[in-house]
């Protein structure tokens, strides 16, 4: 019998049956949206690490929990902290982080960081097949847990299949998912999507014909009102989509889902005062969900114009260390920290990160323990190495705390909000005009279904913004604002990595880096507007824009400068064609905002030379939003 913590909702009989299976069970649970799959997984982890029979209990390190995005890992970690009792030593990892770790340990001489995510996963498949897990310190896992299994496609699917196959004699698993929510985005090319449909679940059933245990969860818990339950009666049909009649049935379902959404309360436009009032100063956790990134950028810009604070949800694979760890490193000269010192430094942080000091200590100790002995100390040099290598623990990723989030539906998978505003789904007949890829009818239906099932209390809708002028620069995938004429360029998307990271912000800009650090930590907050300013409108090098400084606040304080990558991509956006001559550069790029602060790891010597404390870890801003070019020398472009 597992004992729920006081705050955890009680388990239903069906959920308990999942939770209490022995560790070596091969378990598959495919169930609808909001049926408590993630909740049940958390409680199952508790059971696995500490069921009634100690002989049956697994060590936390024997359980491998794989997830798709850092957001999902974070969500799982939060739920484990909230509703798990003994499971808080179990770590959830993204497929990418797990694959990278395995490769670094198996083939330490290869420069794996330089490889793409996909290439690393493919290499990890080969490593697992060759028995790499048998020679690791902890050996192969005893139990593998995968949430959101419907999204397991392509190389990631291959990775899990290989892992289960290779270690089938000694391994149990818990795989949960909902086939109605399979939207793979760019994980597989369009031509492979039909084949991927249901592949993994079919593979499980085919591979374990005699001992796969399949259990159901039939109740739903997320939707607490009739309006948020509108999509649920169609769950079964959405789950079964995919046969010969997929196209016809998709169109039918898409219309039925759209009609059900249009029956809900809606607003006239994104500029509707009622709509804006409903969002302003409202603590209800709300998400505005869009079909694609371009819509998300435009909605965010509109809200900004109307002074509605919000966060723009990051890409699922964005990986970086939260700003607070740089702040913490800067508060001490020591290179190792014992628990009491760590916890007291943590308590000094302002603002407080959205996690407990004890939790941060536990996670960091696991990743950056000083020495090899039993001493419980964190080595800050190791912390810096983790940050520099892009391996800072995912469980400590910055939390989404904004009451209002603008997100693509794709990025909202597995998450829930009290209130969801969906952009009006386009008519079925205009879908082909919305993307350059062929329309994937099944994905369209599932996307709409996922969006409609994220709400607890309220489901609303509003017409989407005009996005035709927002194009994508093919080389970088960056969105830019064009016009009716081919050469027009009015602005572009800012991204997290657009900030120079090899030196502390302010270095070589006339600002004092140490003061910039103080200012960043004391005065710069997520959502604040920032502008980019080119003091000299001269390109920095071949194929690059001029240097832009990032300025913040009314006093236009310098808080960093753009990266070389940004300068190249800005050049690519403005270089309309091979023969196009860029006559001048905007002195200002305005309308972007601070996504959040991050910790960057660099050379301790450069930091020390610039008077920046923190032993080579410093704070930098991450940028987001759609920014517009302004302040041109030439009249034509100024007018434009």
Tell me: does residue 2 bind ligand ATP (CB under 6 A). Answer: no
166-185 footprint of ligand ATP as x/- string (CB under 6 A)? ------------x--x----
Which lies closer to ligand ATP via its Cβ, residue 149 or residue 503? 149
| Tokens read off for 536 | 């000299």
Q: Identify which of residues 148 and 161 has a Cβ nearer to ligand ATP in the complex.
A: 148
Give residues with Cβ within 8 angstroms of 342, minimum separation 6.
328, 357, 360, 361, 364, 378
Q: Which is nearer to ligand ATP, 33 or 103 (CB)?
A: 33
User: Cβ 312 to ligand ATP, closest distance in Å?
Assistant: 21
Q: In the structure encoding, which two tokens stand for residue 358, read together?
A: 């004890």
Nearer to ligand ATP, 151 or 598 (CB): 151
Question: ω before 351 within 30° of 0 (cis)?
Answer: yes
23 vs 12: CA distance, rounded Å: 20
Cβ distance to ligand ATP smaller for residue 201 or 624: 201
Q: Are 178 and 193 in contact (CB under 8 A)?
A: no
143 in contact with ligand ATP (CB under 6 A): no
The token duo for 228 is 């948020």
Q: Exposed (0-12), middle (13-18) or buried (19+): which is 227, by Cβ within 10 Å?
A: middle
Give the side-chain half-sphere CA count within 13 A for 352: 10
For the CB of residue 34, give the shortest distance to ligand ATP in the complex, in Å: 5
State yes or no: 315 annotated in a binding site.
Answer: no
Q: For 397-440, give the secondary structure using H, E and C.
A: CCCCCCCEEEEECHHHCCCCEEEEEEECCCCHHHHHHCCCCCCC
Question: How wide is the angle at C-alpha 535 spanned by C-alphas 533 and 538, nearest 5°?
Answer: 105
Residue 379 CA to residue 390 CA, distance in Å, equals 17
Instruction: Considering only the stretches 31-39, 48-56, 504-512, 579-587, report the one whose residues sit in contact with ligand ATP under the rule CB under 6 A.
Output: 31-39
Cα of first residue to Cα of last residue in the chain, in angstroms, is 69
Q: Does residue 33 interact with ligand ATP by CB under 6 A?
A: yes
String of contacts with ligand ATP for each residue 191-220, x by CB under 6 A: ------------------------------
Contacts of 524 (CB under 8 A, 6+ apart): 552, 559, 594, 597, 621
Those residues with Cβ within 8 angstroms of residue 639's Cβ, 6 or more apart along the chain or in another chain: none
Binding mask 361-390 for ligand ATP (x = CB under 6 A): ------------------------------
Q: Is 38 in the site for ligand ATP (CB under 6 A)?
A: yes
Alpha helices, DSSP H, located in 508-585: 513-523, 564-574
Identified binder of ligand ATP from the candidate list 21, 27, 29, 35, rule CB under 6 A: 35
Among 29-37, 249-257, 309-317, 376-384, the segment contacting ligand ATP (CB under 6 A): 29-37
Question: Hey, what are 235's tokens?
Answer: 């769950």
Burial letters for 322-351: b for 16+ Cβ neighbours within 10 Å, e otherwise?
bbbbbbbbbbbeebbbeeeebeebbeebee
Compare residues 67 and 290 and give the one whose CB is closer to ligand ATP.
Answer: 67
Nearest to 480 by CA among 492, 495, 468, 467: 492
Cβ closer to ligand ATP: 416 or 595? 416
Q: Torsion over CA of 590, 595, 596 and 601, rounded to 10 degrees? A: -80
Question: In whole angstroms, what is the distance from residue 590 CA to residue 563 CA?
Answer: 17
Q: How far is the CB of 184 from ligand ATP (least distance, A)?
A: 15
Compute how many other C-beta atoms are within 10 angstroms of the C-beta atom of residue 185: 15
**Of 203 and 221, which CB lies nearer to ligand ATP in the complex structure?**
221
Closer to ligand ATP by CB, 10 or 373: give it. Answer: 10
Query: Closest approach of Cβ 174 to ligand ATP, in Å?
Result: 13
Report which residue's Cβ sits closest to ligand ATP: 36
Among 117, 203, 208, 221, binds ligand ATP (CB under 6 A): 221
Cβ atoms of 320 and 304 within 8 Å: the answer is no
Q: Does 172 carry a binding-site annotation?
A: no
Q: Which is nearer to ligand ATP, 15 or 610 (CB)?
A: 15
Q: Which of 26, 39, 86, 157 binds ligand ATP (CB under 6 A)?
A: 39
31 known member of a binding site: yes
Does position 117 interact with ligand ATP (CB under 6 A)? The reply is: no
Contact of 67 with 76, CB cutoff 8 Å: yes
Total of residues contacting ligand ATP (CB under 6 A): 19
* 613 annotated to bind ligand: no
**Which of the stretches 33-41, 60-68, 199-207, 470-478 binds ligand ATP when contact is defined by CB under 6 A?**
33-41
Task: Kindly indicate which of the ranges 30-38, 339-347, 472-480, 625-633 contains the residues binding ligand ATP, using the contact rule CB under 6 A.
Answer: 30-38
| Residue 350 CB partners (closer than 8 Å, separation 6+) | none
Smallest gap, in angstroms, from Cβ of residue 356 to ligand ATP? 20
Please identify, using beta-carbon distances, which residue of 182 and 513 lies nearer to ligand ATP: 182
Closest CA relative to residue 322, chosen from 618, 598, 594, 71: 598
Question: How far apart are CB 243 and ligand ATP at their closest, in Å?
Answer: 23
Does residue 34 have a known ligand-binding role? yes
Does residue 9 bind ligand ATP (CB under 6 A)?
Answer: yes
Is 577 marked as binding a ligand? no
Closest approach of Cβ 16 to ligand ATP, in Å?
A: 9
Question: Which CB atom, from 176 or from 597, has the smaller least distance to ligand ATP?
Answer: 176
Give yes or no for a contact between 289 and 299, defined as CB atoms under 8 angstroms apart: no
CB 276, CB 308: distance < 8 Å: yes
Q: Which is nearer to ligand ATP, 413 or 521 (CB)?
A: 413
The answer to whether 177 is annotated as binding is no
CA distance 448 to 426: 11
Please state the closest distance from residue 221 (CB atom) to ligand ATP, in A.
Answer: 3
- Considering only the stretches 35-43, 94-102, 325-333, 585-593, report the one whose residues sit in contact with ligand ATP under the rule CB under 6 A: 35-43
Of 217 and 337, nearer to ligand ATP (C-beta) is 217
User: Is residue 34 a contact point for ligand ATP (CB under 6 A)?
Assistant: yes
Which one of 11-19, 100-108, 120-128, 293-301 is the stretch in contact with ligand ATP (CB under 6 A)?
11-19
Instruction: Identify whether the C-beta of residue 535 lies closer than 8 Å to the C-beta of residue 561.
Output: no
Q: How many Å apart are CA 65 and CA 79, to the nearest integer?
A: 14
Residues 398-457 that bind ligand ATP (CB under 6 A): 414, 416, 453
Residue 36 is labelled as binding a ligand:
yes
Sequence-ordered list of residues with C-beta below 8 angstroms from that of 213, at least 6 positions apart, any chain: 21, 25, 26, 27, 28
Q: Which residue in 37, 70, 461, 552 binds ligand ATP (CB under 6 A)?
A: 37
- Of 451-510, which residues contact ligand ATP (CB under 6 A)? 453
Q: Specify binding-site residues for ATP.
A: 31-38
Tell me which residues touch ligand ATP (CB under 6 A).
9-12, 15, 33-39, 178, 181, 221-222, 414, 416, 453
Q: Specify binding-site residues.
A: 31-38
């Amino acid at each position: 019998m597992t004992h729920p913590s006081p705050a955890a909702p009680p388990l239903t009989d069906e959920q308990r049956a999942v939770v209490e299976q022995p560790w070596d069970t091969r378990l598959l649970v495919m169930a609808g949206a909001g049926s408590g799959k993630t909740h049940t997984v958390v409680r199952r982890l508790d059971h696995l690490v500490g069921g009634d029979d100690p002989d049956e209990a697994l060590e936390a390190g024997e359980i491998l929990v794989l997830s798709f995005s850092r957001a999902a890992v974070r969500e799982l970690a939060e739920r484990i902290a909230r509703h798990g009792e003994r499971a808080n030593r179990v770590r959830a990892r993204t497929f990418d982080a797990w694959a990278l770790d395995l490769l670094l340990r198996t083939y330490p001489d290869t420069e794996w960081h330089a490889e793409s995510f996909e290439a690393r996963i493919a290499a990890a498949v080969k490593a697992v097949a060759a028995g790499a897990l048998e020679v690791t310190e902890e050996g192969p896992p005893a139990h593998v847990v995968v949430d959101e299994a419907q999204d397991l496609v392509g190389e990631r699917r291959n990775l899990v299949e290989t892992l289960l196959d290779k270690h089938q004699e000694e391994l149990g698993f818990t795989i949960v998912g909902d086939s109605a929510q399979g939207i793979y985005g760019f994980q597989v090319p369009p031509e492979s999507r039909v084949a991927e449909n249901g592949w993994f679940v079919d593979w499980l059933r085919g591979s374990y014909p005699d001992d796969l245990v399949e259990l159901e969860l039939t109740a739903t818990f997320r939707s607490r009102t009739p309006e948020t339950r509108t999509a649920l009666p169609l769950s079964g049909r959405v789950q079964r989509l995919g046969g010969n009649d997929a196209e016809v049935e998709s169109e039918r379902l898409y219309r039925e889902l759209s009609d059900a959404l249009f029956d809900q309360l809606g607003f006239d436009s994104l500029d509707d005062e009622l709509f804006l009032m409903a969002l302003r100063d409202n603590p209800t956790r709300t998400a505005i969900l869009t079909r694609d990134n371009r819509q998300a950028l435009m909605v965010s810009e509109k809200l900004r114009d109307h002074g509605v604070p919000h966060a723009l949800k990051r890409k699922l694979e964005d990986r970086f260390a939260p700003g607070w760890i740089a702040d913490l490193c800067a508060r001490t000269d020591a290179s190792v920290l014992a628990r009491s010192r760590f916890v007291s430094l943590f308590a000094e942080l302002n603002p407080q990160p959205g996690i407990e000091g004890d939790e941060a200590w536990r996670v960091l100790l696991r990743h950056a323990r000083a020495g090899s002995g039993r001493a419980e100390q964190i080595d800050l040099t190791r912390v810096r190495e983790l940050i520099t290598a892009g391996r800072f623990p995912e469980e400590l990723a910055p939390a989404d705390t904004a009451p209002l989030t603008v997100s693509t539906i794709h990025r909202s998978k597995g998450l829930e909000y009290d209130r969801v505003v969906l952009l009006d789904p386009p008519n079925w007949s205009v879908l082909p005009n919305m993307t350059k890829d062929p329309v994937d009818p099944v994905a369209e239906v599932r996307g709409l279904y996922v969006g409609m099932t994220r709400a607890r209390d309220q489901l609303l809708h509003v017409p989407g913004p005009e996005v035709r002028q927002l194009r994508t620069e093919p080389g970088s995938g960056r969105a830019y604002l064009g016009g009716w004429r081919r050469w027009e360029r009015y602005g572009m998307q800012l991204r997290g990595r657009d900030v120079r990271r090899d030196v502390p912000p302010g270095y070589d800009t006339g600002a004092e880096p140490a003061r910039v650090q103080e200012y960043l930590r004391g005065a710069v907050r997520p959502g604040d507007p920032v502008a980019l300013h080119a003091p000299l409108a001269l390109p920095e090098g071949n194929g690059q824009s001029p240097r832009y400084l990032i300025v913040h606040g009314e006093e236009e304080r310098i808080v960093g400068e753009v990266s070389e990558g940004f300068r190249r991509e800005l050049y690519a956006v403005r270089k309309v064609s091979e023969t196009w001559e860029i006559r001048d550069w905007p002195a200002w790029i305005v309308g972007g905002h601070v996504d959040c602060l991050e910790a960057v790891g660099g050379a301790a010597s450069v930091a020390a030379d610039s008077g920046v404390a923190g032993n080579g870890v410093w704070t930098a801003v991450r940028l987001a939003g759609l920014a517009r070019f302004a302040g041109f020398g030439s009249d034509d472009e100024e007018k434009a």
